[in-house]
Structure 1
Amino acid sequence: MEKSKTCLSCNKEVSGRSDKKFCDAYCKSSFHYNKMIEDTPKFYSRVDKQLKLNRRILKIYNKAGKVTVRTNVLLDLGFDPNFFTHYWKNNKDEVYLFVYEFGFMKKKESGIEKYVLVKWQDYMLKK
């Protein structure tokens, strides 16, 4: 006696070949599409996760509004400078990259790479 199989997508009974897993091409496509979505995080989810991590790290190290921190300290915590929300250029043409209200600028002092961390100020809106 043959055991009846059900479609992996819609759970309807599958007829035909013994190794058949889906009732039709739509169910097969739907199953694999949903599996792909579950298996790999969407691009914006990965970006959002990194932005939140970057903001959390910058917030922890910038309590006073402006501070300098060695680059490797932030990078070791998972900070990725490639993920930021906007930028601001000061009068000296130095560019600060921001993760929401927390900004950072890479600087080399005495041969050591550091980030100057700042907090967004209202005057930064004016050009």
Structure 2
Amino acid sequence: MNHANQIEKKCCENCGELIVGRTDKRFCDTYCKNTFNSNRRKAERFQEYDNLPEIFKIIKNNHEILKTYQPAEFSEQSSTEGISRQELLAKGFNFRFFTSIQRDTFGEYWKFCFDYGWRENGYDYCSLSHDIQAIALVPANQYLCITPLEN
């Protein structure tokens, strides 16, 4: 057998054209290489967000649960009430998912699902709020500290 007959023909991974040149070449030109890699990265980005509808569903469920705690006996001076963490968990509340986090003037952190928030008072108890305006919040730029990573 002749060695020339054993040469395998390679095709471009992007367009399928016959590749001429080095044996380890994967693309016919830089345009095909860039297009292929761009499409691959785009597909990977979309895979990262595959669970986004599920996360939004959890946040929406948390919001609905917090919304049920709007008792008429809230006074104008106080917009917070206490609730057992176990009670929230029993209703399906997931403490890991929220839309924002803010610090109040007392240094306590409030987590919000849109306009309804909670603050954990120890492990078994939470304060709830249905009025962001009633909580004295510190502007974000006063408590967010970004430190550079060390090499």
Give the TM-score of the pair, scaled to structure 1: 0.56
Unaligned segments of structure 1, at least 5 residues: none
Number of residue pairs aligned between Structure 1 and Structure 2: 119
**Partner Cα distance (1:120, 1:51) in 2:** 24
For residue 131 of structure 2, the aligned residue among 104, 114, 120 is 120
Taking the TM superposition and a 5 Å limit, the aligned residue runs for 1:1-127 are 5-41=10-46, 45=49, 52-53=56-57, 55-62=59-66, 63-65=68-70, 68-70=83-85, 73=89, 79-80=95-96, 84-87=99-102, 89=104, 94-108=108-122, 112-120=123-131, 123=134
- Seen in structure 2, the aligned counterparts of structure 1 residues 95 and 17 have a Cα distance that, compared at 3 Å, is closer
- Seen in structure 2, the aligned counterparts of structure 1 residues 93 and 79 have a Cα distance that, compared at 3 Å, is closer
The alpha-carbon deviation at position 80 of structure 1 amounts to: 1.8
**Partner Cα distance (1:42, 1:15) in 2:** 34
Aligned-pair identity (%): 18
**Partner Cα distance (2:57, 2:130) in 1:** 16
The C-alpha deviation readout for 1:86-115, integer Å capped at 9, x for no partner, is: 53637x66442223212121112xxx4333
Secondary structure of 2:121's match? strand
**Partner Cα distance (1:78, 1:103) in 2:** 13
Q: Which has the larger radius of gyration?
A: 2
Whether contact under 8 Å (1:106, 1:116) holds in the other structure is yes
The C-alpha deviation readout for 1:41-75, integer Å capped at 9, x for no partner, is: 588x58x668635522422422123662427938x
**Partner Cα distance (1:115, 1:49) in 2:** 27
Letter in 2 for 1:20: K
**Partner Cα distance (2:119, 2:64) in 1:** 16
**Partner Cα distance (1:69, 1:16) in 2:** 70
